[in-house]
A and B are shown apart, each in its own frame.
Chain A
């Protein structure tokens, strides 16, 4: 066999084993994007002021002011994350359940976590609509909250 063909096949094989990925191009996000809507008009609420937004599982305060949309992280150690939106007049809860899939996206990147089958509920907000149950880049918004 022609040696050039052999060399070509070897080079193709080696190149095929060395695909380099951009870490930022991981398809999956670790936070859910939430939009708040006025239930009477169906329009998005521009600005919401809370005392704080936190999860009982997290030591962090995620927000106090929400401008139209916000991203809230989901706890990858379990399949449930509960958030509290605290106001002067009372607390609003927003609970999520989901499934997880872990993978090594690329050896040089942080592991990828796929959150999917997202479901949401609240006893304080009027309704919670899941518009994209997978936390990926296909559709920006995951949850619409009406009150």
Chain B
């Protein structure tokens, strides 16, 4: 039986949103435990806008990840954990590029877009989660993303894949820092009155 509910918020996209122009993203997660494992669902939204001297590129979409993490620490107190995991991820997004230049045919503006692209990949994860105060935990998660597949591509080759990283790479490494609220669930301590 599950004993905990996990609510997590990824601080890395927030930092990017605040400190880096052209990027806006949010990423959260929910999960439950069973035995020494965690069933986790991540979900996120991402919008990136990149501009150069001759072009502008916008990518906007959502993603989710579902997977299991196993706590390799035994006999730990609280919900501290050192985890290894596997996740399946999907992303759905659109992107568009407008470029203006003289390619030998006079200055022209070219617009190209993908209305709906679907991507999927797998992730191997390694994470650490430590209690900092009551039910609040901080922890990081390193993701090694593999077996990426894109569907629905047209003439525009996407620069980013929401949740994955740069599309030109077949594999990617991600670093996330989670603030988690871990709530006891189901099992209650019985108080024996004398």
Contacts and interface: CB of A to CB of B under 8 A. Distances in A.
Q: Which of A55, A60, A104 has the most CB of B within 10 A?
A: A104
B142 interface: yes
B99 to A, nearest CB: 5
B110 A76 contact: yes
Given A101-B155, A104-B57, A76 B52 contact: no
Given A9-B175, A73-B103, A77-B108, A102 B142 contact: no
A113 B104 CA distance: 14
A20 interface: no
A25 interface: no
B155 A109 contact: no
Interface residues of B, number: 30
Contacts of A109: 52
A5 B45 CA distance: 30
B101 interface: yes
Contacts of A60: 104-106
Contacts of A62: 104
Interface string A59-73: 110100000000001
Interface string A108-130: 11110100000000000000000
A10 B141 CA distance: 11
Interface residues of A, number: 33
A31 B103 CA distance: 9
A102 B101 CA distance: 14
B34 interface: no
A99 B153 CA distance: 14
A101 B53 CA distance: 20
Given A10-B175, A12-B173, A16-B173, A76 B50 contact: no
A139 to B, nearest CB: 21
B142 A57 contact: no
B124 to A, nearest CB: 14
Given A57-B105, A103-B159, A1 B97 contact: no
A110 B175 contact: no
B53 A75 contact: no
A76 B53 CA distance: 18
Contacts of A99: 155
Q: Which of A31, A59, A76, A99 has the most CB of B within 10 A?
A: A76
B132 interface: no
Interface of A: 1, 6, 9-10, 12-14, 16-17, 30-31, 55, 57-60, 62, 73, 75-77, 99-104, 107-111, 113
Interface of B: 50, 52-55, 57, 82, 97, 99, 101, 103-106, 108, 110, 112, 128, 140, 142, 155-159, 165, 168, 173-175
22 contacts: A1-B82, A10-B175, A13-B142, A13-B173, A13-B175, A30-B103, A31-B104, A55-B104, A60-B105, A62-B104, A73-B104, A76-B103, A99-B155, A101-B157, A102-B110, A103-B168, A104-B57, A107-B50, A107-B159, A111-B52, A111-B55, A111-B57
